[in-house]
Structure 1
Amino acid sequence: MKTKILLVLLLTSAWLSAQTNQISGVIIDEQSELPLAGASVVLLEVEGVGAITDFDGYFTLEDVPVGRQNLEISYIGYETRTINNVVVTSGKAAVVNVSLIESFDQLDEVILTSKASKRRPINTLATVSARQFGMEEVTRFSGGRSDVGRLAANYAGVSAPDDSRNDIVVRGNSPTGLLWRLEGIPIPSPNHYSTLGTTGGPVSALNPNLLKNSDFLTSAFPSEYGNAVGGVFDLGFRTGNKDDYEYTGQVGIFTGVEAMAEGPLGNKRGSFLVAARYSLVSLLGVGAGGTSATPDYSDLSFNIDFGKGKAGNFSLFGILGTSSIDFLGDDIDEDDLFAAEDENAFADSNFGVIGLKHQIALSENSFIRSVIATSTNGNEFTVDRFIDKDTDQERVIRFTEADDTENRLSVSSFFNTKINNRLTLRTGVLFESFGIDTNFKDRTEQPDLDGDGDPDLTIFRSIDDRLALIQPYVQTQFRLSKSLTLNAGVHGQYSDLNEQFVIEPRLGLQYKVAPAHQLSFGFGVHHQNQPLPILFLNQTVDGQQIQPNLGLDFVRSDHYVLGYDLKIAKDWRAKLEVYYQDLTNAAVESTPSSYSGLTEGADFGFNNDVTGLVNAGTGFNQGLELTVEKFFSEGYYGLLTASIFESKYEGSDGIERNTPFNNGYVLNFLTGREFPIGKQKKDVIFADTRVTFAGGRYFTPVDLAASQAAGFEITQDELAFSQQYDDYFRWDVKVGIKLNSRSNKTAHSFYLDIQNLTNNENVFVQRYNRLTNNIDQVNQIGLFPDFGYRFEF
């Protein structure tokens, strides 16, 4: 009997231990960003589970029950903060990094309590139009494909006009106006099948399982961000588990087959985190994402933290990705989004960034952070076209050749100091050296000057050159009172291509009218260099190749934003923002035309016949945005965003027109719920749904008669962007289950994500079909089921 009782006790103990795990993390000062030693971390609603941070601000909570947990973090002289919905599974420890803000008055005890939420950006110097997001959001929302870009499309002020690519339109700006940053340095488009000058792609190369909580900014961003007029993704990689080794296996339609490992490294609280993915559709030999061709892509991401030493803290991070796809005309459907039946096209691309980050504390309130990184982004694209296909005269000619590579060396360094609990100063500089090797030949719309019966294969870009950008900045945060905070700074930008230097003032003001009410105002001057494919276009003059667009100055955008934030109730908030952006110095043709550089970036490529451009174009974006959000609590969340906006431009003909990004309105509604199951309620069934309504994109109508006579598409440029596609509608539904093992340290999850549930026919494009001599409409992706499985151990 004693033996049986002992066996039952041992089995019960093992079962209970398998239902717990760890929560670890670092607590830092919000203004100085340095660790707080001696901070108290307590697990709410579970007695006896707590910890005190060590000299490095690090803590570990043991024996934490699986499920969603709440933490309370306190430190003498600082506002106490609660962190809700920390997800703990039996297969993986949770990591939580928290910043505490010093009480405005030098108090001996804590009297204020605040809740950390996604409405507050990581960058405390961002006043308006900024939002924090985390890995859970990227993977939770239905229809998101675990893609950061598609996640942002749910936020107010953002639209995603193309189901086949993750380009996002921020407040009516071209997707080329977006800045991607990783660990504090700008990077090229982090997407598979990306092309020179673009910021999006069909499949993301960013692995969300490595991301820590990061920021997305849509306007009037702080002075440390430059060379962007639209928005900013400011991303960071989390560190690996510093206490134990963990592994994850995962499979999904778009994310592919994935393996991830992490764990402690050395004896200085270092860690490693590495993940590799390979496309599932390539293994299955099927098409996806709007084409019947089989995409082949893979990526490797890593973050190695070497821990703290006398010389400071070093970490090595990076992403390496490759992708390829062959569009064979005989295997292509007539409604393929990317290819044609009378062509064989071959696309190869690569993306990579490797960086070394260093941080060293100079005092209790000051540090220097530096990053040196190299990145590359390249693509090759060739098209062979069949002439007189399926006839006795059939032949094949090389129609398009593109080989573009951008290599970049980036060096960033800044000094941050908390002068006192009211004043913070940050100053730094970013240096970027671009190596541009671009070659592009095409026969489209070209004459037959050599008399061989085919349009000439004309050189549009052929250059191997360099471009350097230097961006110094200084910014401060001044807490004028408990309720009033001023963020101000200046950003500078210099290009050695045309020796242009600009100074950009930035200003932000937050005023807490009452505990539940806050007003904010933001202003900023922002510049960006012209897209590289436009900047380095060739023109043949007297038999010589020149680049007449190299003298173009930066495009300028002045941002004005006014916001109102209301805490409706516990876990509920509403936010209203109104904005205006004045765009000048846009690239337009010297002779009257409807062209403007503000309309570029709506597709994979750019115009190739716009040389001799001048900085005389203008435009504006204006709108009103509403966000109503229920943060995840009591088992559910909700998000409603509505944007009403207008995006206009003027070319050199002086006529005000719609930009192709002027959808007019976007409405998103998302909600989800979790249902605990099992005797211990440790397993979860979850369901999420997303509904999107948006105005149709504006487009330039095709001149059918002229196109039929020429044999290629000719648009009515005098009517540029005068017609609008039908409104966009899409409904996505996602269901799944999460299982925590009772017998060992493992966890499983599975989801089914049905995208475009109603199979609504949203317009992709209306284009001239040279095979049928008609204008055909091609629709975006219809109903598409995505699935995923995740195993943690």
Structure 2
Amino acid sequence: MWIHYGPQKLALVLMIILVLTGRLAAQQTQTVRGTVVDQQSKKGIAAVSIHITGTYLSAITDSSGSFSINKVPVGRIGIQASHIGYEPAQLNNMVVESGKETYITLELLEKLVVTQDEIVVTGRRESMAGQQMATVSATGFNAEDTRRFAGSRNDVARMASNFAGVNSVNDGRNDIIIRGNSPQGLLWRLEGVDIPNPNHFGSLGATGGPVGMLNNNVIGQSVFYTGAFPAQFGNATAGVFDLSLRKGNSNRHEFTGQVGFNGLELGAEGPFSKNSKASYLIYYRYSIPGLLKSLGVNVGTGAAVPTYQDISFKVDLPTKKAGQFSLFGIGGNSKIDFKGELKDTSNFYNDPYSNLYNSTKMGVAGLKHTYFFNNTTSYTFTLAATGTNVTTRQDSLDADRLPHKNYRQNGNEWRYMASLVLNKKISARDRFTIGLILDQLHYSYTDSLRDADHGFIPVLEEKDHTELLRGYAQWQHRFSNRLTLNTGVYGQYLALNKKGVAEGRAGLRYAFTPGGTATLAYGTHHQMQTLMTYFHETPVNGSFVQTNRNLGFTQSNHIVAGWEQVLKANWKYKLEAYTQLLNNIPVQTRPTDWSAVNLGAGYETGLEDSLVNKGKGYNYGAELTVEKPFAGGYYFLSTVSVFNSKYKGSNGGQHNTAFNGNYVVNALGGKEWQLKGIHTIAVDMKLTAAGGKRYTPINEAASKQANRVIYYEDRSFELRTKAYFRMDIKLTYRMNSKGYMQEFFIDFQNVTNHKNVFNQWYDSRSASIRTQNQLGFWPNFNYRIQF
């Protein structure tokens, strides 16, 4: 879904920005607040010394680990934390803005008793992987990271496409393809709750969409995993998005307004009363393509106008004796109608020979309680409900020509979840966590295809519920300052067909030098099939039989080895090599090239029946990340990923997977300039080069004879489109005035107007093969104000 601005409107926007840049205010200050907690127990630490680098500003944490520092100059700052019993920590280049207080959470690692042969690390900052019992392939991020990179559109998923191992060459969707795996292998988790596809215009069983529903203004410190993830995560084979929502300001009321590609947004947060630390946070967003269309701006979908809205909220209620309560949730809906136009073959959301009507809904709500029995032992109990609905209707403009393009589909999935997690810090060396999760899965599906003689005939009608039981235990042991072990077990049981599995996870981190660390991790991971898959029916002797009902879990075995090296001047690099073996992939009982390993990158749900767990596949590759975190006014990030992804269908032949692009190269950088110490001008750039999209060649002669597309099935995903290339440039201006902050940016995407191929399809009307290209050059404008 894209927006094209004319040159006159761009000139007007630029003039407004230039006028506003003349308004320079006096030196502004802000309050910096936060909490310091023990990394292993998560309990607040008292008497920690907090210091703003390069100033005399400092504070000491209270009994709950909280601190507050007033009159901190706006701009970028460094924060140091030190305590006699803990390793020191430092955060660099934190953004302080005049319109909003800065809140941070620091996790300190308790010191070990050091022997003569151990490494003493001064000013050490634990990686996000270490904090989460992960050994490899874990990247931490926050709300600022989702805004920083050019081309990310304030979208969490599109931001992650810049990380090593991630391949996303579809401009119209934010699917996350990790190391050649299907996007369906990705787990989305929010505040400890597994959630359905968090995107507008998504589909059941998918994990991506054109517009993200997760509002980046509410994202807290989160982690993205790309392989061999720890035992607390399961029912996934590729990767994990472990997201948290930040707390609202418990000190004062703050407000945010924003308008841009993602819509018109309004946000508010603050305390419930002056005498309480309870806080609220709520953001609402509504799409603006309809408004833009009325102004003559092409929103990229022809006559179709997408409408969507969403809301995100969190309420935190701390108590003195009963612990911490949190109420959280997100929800949204979307709708779009595409009217086919026989002469228009450029819209790849729908073919030109049919009308498509689509609407979606998604929601998550949860209540979490965290309680500390003492300084080392705590539990978290969560009750949550999630739900999603997708309604689709497609009508052919020529029913005789394309009868299979007339269908009705309505799918509902919702779950009720109860989760109990116990965390125990045994000593500075040992931490132990166990968890138990019970899901009650409800579903209701109706699916029908039009028959020329009998009208719409149901092909799927199912309404019932089942249960999914999961449990895990994980242990972290620090043998020394050099060596750390992360290990655990995970298991799950699906009551629908009485299938159960148990898994093991293990990882080692060894510091050869203060700046160089070797890592090695192994994990077995299983994932149930998309829920609708189990109920597809096969006609047998005049009746229908659910031939997929007894499908087991897809299995994935990860092995990842890596080396991390910190260099001079804040530079660092990380090299990881991996192999992944896939087993028990659903394939068809008759010999074909079809495999569930290729599902997930489109809107199809997969209507195949008669499936068995006999498919296999493998992925292997290497990744290099070179990074200079923001310092000295600039940052740099480059990732290089080379990989190979293959599978076998029931025909026994080996094929490329649909996601085997073979390579991805990203290069990102940005530079900031300060104006009178309070305003900021920034330029960010991104270059992406990747292998083209895989496709199966069309048998043109057979297609002409059949008057429909016929593929060379024995050549499944043999060919690849030309290489994908894109350059994005982002210009940002941030103004700090007394009591409020304003930010403008223009993100020029695909500035070279490179013609990246979307797909090839057979046009039976013209009896020819057509090629559809992806997004050309377009600028994305965004304005944000905080006060």
Which residue, 346, 361, 375 being the options, matches 1:350?
361
Is 1:745 aligned to residue 752 of structure 2?
Answer: no
Decide which of 31, 37, 62 is 2:40's aligned counterpart.
Answer: 31
Whichever residue aligns with residue 516 of structure 1, its letter is: G
Shift of 1:289: 5.8
Q: Which moved more, 1:376-385 or 1:434-443?
A: 434-443
- The aligned residue for residue 5 of structure 1 is none
Shift of 1:661: 0.4
> Would the aligned equivalents of 1:268 and 1:308 in 2 still touch at CA under 8 Å?
no
SS across alignment from 2:597: helix
Give the corresponding residue for 2:182: 174
Map 1:157-196 onto structure 2 (within 5 A): 157-196=165-204
Once the two structures are TM-superposed, the CA of residue 442 in structure 1 deviates from its matched residue by 3.0
Residues 394 and 80 (structure 1), Cα distance of their counterparts in 2 relative to 1, 3 Å cut: closer
Q: 1:482 to 1:712 in 2, by over 3 A?
A: same
In structure 2, the partner of 1:441 is 448
**How many residues get paired?**
757
CA distance in 2, matches of 1:332, 1:466: 45
Q: Is the 8 A contact 2:128 2:223 kept in 1?
A: no
Of 732-741 and 266-275, the range deviating more from structure 2: 266-275
After TM superposition, give the deviation of residue 712 of structure 1 in Å: 2.9
After superposition, the Cα gap between the structure-2 partners of 1:359 and 1:291, relative to the gap in structure 1 and judged at 3 Å, is farther
The answer for the alignment partner of 2:489 in structure 1 is: 490
1:386 is aligned to 2:397: yes
Match of 1:526 in 2: 525
CA–CA separation in structure 2 for the residues paired with 1:114 and 1:438: 56
1:647 alignment partner in structure 2: 645
Q: Distance in 2 between matches of 1:635 and 1:333?
A: 48
Which residue does 2:589 correspond to in 1? 590
Deviations 1:518-541 (A, max 9, x none): 000010000001123332212222
Q: AA paired with 1:713? A: V
Question: 1:19-57 deviations in whole A, cap 9, x for unaligned?
Answer: 00011111100011111122111111111x111112221
Q: After the TM superposition, which segments of 4 or more aligned residues of structure 1 sit over 4 Å from their partners?
A: 289-292, 393-398
Unmatched runs of 5 consecutive residues or more in structure 2: 1-23
Match among 421, 425, 431 for residue 438 of structure 2: 431
CA contact (8 A) 2:90 2:125 kept: yes
Partners of 2:351 and 2:609 lie apart in 1 by 28
Corresponding residue for 1:364? 375
Q: Which residue of 2 aligns with 1:235?
A: 243
Q: Which residue of 1 aligns with 2:463?
A: 464
Aligned to 1:278: 286
Contact 1:386-1:397 at 8 Å conserved across structures: no
1:774 and 1:727 map into 2 onto residues whose CA distance is 23
Q: For 1:537 and 1:170, how far apart are their aligned partners in 2?
A: 28
| Structure 2 residue 260 is matched with structure 1 residue 252 | yes
Separation (CA, whole Å) in 2 of partners of 1:502 and 1:91 = 51
Q: Which moved more, 1:538-547 or 1:229-238?
A: 538-547
Q: 1:249 to 1:332 in 2, by over 3 A?
A: farther
- 1:408 has 2:406 as partner: no
- Structure 1 residues 74-102: Cα deviation after superposition (integer angstroms, max 9, x where no partner): 11210111111110111111111110000
The amino acid across from 1:261 in the alignment is A
Structure 2 partner of 1:579:
578
Local SS of the residue matching 1:97: strand
Q: Tell me, in whole angstroms, the C-alpha distance in 2 between the residues paired with 1:131 and 1:397.
A: 44
Paired residues of 2:121 and 2:514 also in contact (CA < 8 A): no
- Note closer, same or farther for the CA distance 1:461–1:482 as it changes in structure 2 (3 Å cut): same
Moved more, 313-322 or 33-42: 33-42
Q: Retained in 2: the 8 A contact 1:291–1:337?
A: no
SS of 1:194's equivalent in the other structure is coil
Asked whether the equivalents of residues 353 and 373 of structure 1 are also in contact (C-alpha less than 8 Å), the reply is yes
- How far has the Cα of 1:293 moved from its partner? 2.2
In structure 2, give the amino acid aligned to 1:603.
Answer: G
Q: Distance in 2 between matches of 1:15 and 1:163?
A: 40
| Per-residue Cα deviation, 1:582-632 (whole angstroms, up to 9, x for no partner) | 100111112211111111112111332x21111111000000000000000
Gap change, CA 1:591 and 1:341, over 3 Å in 2? closer
> Structure 1 CA distance, aligned partners of 2:299 and 2:463?
35
Which residue does 2:537 correspond to in 1?
Answer: 538
Tell me the residue number matched to 1:727. 723
Q: How far apart are 1:780 and its partner, in Å?
A: 0.8
- Cα–Cα, structure 1 residues 556 and 496, in superposed 2: closer, same or farther, change >3 Å? same
CA apart distance, 1:186: 0.4
The 3-state SS of whatever aligns with 1:630 is: strand
1:21 and 1:63 in contact (8 A); partners too: yes
**2:310 aligned with 1:316:** no
- The DSSP-based 3-state class of the residue aligned with 1:138 is helix
CA distance in 2, matches of 1:104, 1:589: 55
570-579 or 305-314, larger mean C-alpha shift: 305-314
Report the counterpart of residue 14 of structure 2 in structure 1. none
Question: Which of 64, 72, 77 in structure 2 is aligned with 1:64?
Answer: 72
Indicate the residue corresponding to 1:736 in structure 2. Answer: 732
Aligned equivalents of 1:268, 1:489: Cα separation in 2: 39
1:779 alignment counterpart: 773
Where does 1:699-714 land on structure 2 (aligned, <5 Å)? 699-714=695-710
Match of 2:756 among 762, 770, 773: 762
Partner of 2:91: 83
| CA distance in structure 1 between the aligned counterparts of 2:776 and 2:539, rounded to whole angstroms | 44
Q: Is the 8 A contact 1:161 1:168 kept in 2?
A: no
Distance 1:366 1:106, change over 3 A: farther
Counterparts of residues 614-653 of structure 1 (less than 5 Å): 614-653=612-651
Contact 1:301 1:319 in 2 (8 A): yes
Residue 307 (structure 1) shift: 1.7
Q: Give 1:561's aligned residue.
A: 560
The Cα offsets for residues 505-525 of structure 1, whole Å up to 9 and x where unpaired, read as 000100000011000001000
Matching residue's letter, 1:43 = I
Unmatched segments (≥5 aa) in structure 1: 1-13
Identity %: 40
The offset of 1:364, in angstroms, is 0.8
| TM-score of the superposed pair, with normalisation by structure 2 | 0.93
Instruction: State the alpha-carbon separation in 1 of the partners of residues 548 and 120 from structure 2.
Output: 60
- Distance, in Å, in 2 between the alignment partners of 1:113 and 1:441 is 65
CA deviations over 1:117-144 (Å, ceiling 9, x no partner): 7x53374301101110111111111100
Judge conservation of contact 2:404–2:449 (CA < 8 Å) in 1. no
Q: CA deviation at 1:395?
A: 12
What SS does structure 1 have at the residue aligned with 2:397?
strand
| Contact in 2 for aligned 1:71/1:84 (Cα 8 Å) | yes
Match of 1:206 in 2: 214
Structure-1-length-normalised TM-score? 0.92
> Structure 1 pair 326/15, CA: closer, same or farther in 2 (3 Å)?
closer
1:681 paired residue among 677, 685, 689: 677
Distance 1:697 1:170 in 2: 15
CA contact (8 A) 2:114 2:120 kept: no
For the 8 Å contact 2:120–2:481, the answer to whether it is kept is no
Contact 2:46–2:63 (CA under 8 A) maintained in structure 1? yes
> Which has the higher mean CA deviation after the structures are superposed, 354-363 or 466-475?
466-475
Compute the displacement of 1:70 (Å): 0.7
Distance in 1 between the 2:783 and 2:46 partners?
39
Aligned to 1:50: 58
In 1, Cα distance between equivalents of 2:774 and 2:690: 14
Structural RMSD (CA) = 2.1
Secondary structure, in 3 states, of the residue corresponding to 1:150? helix
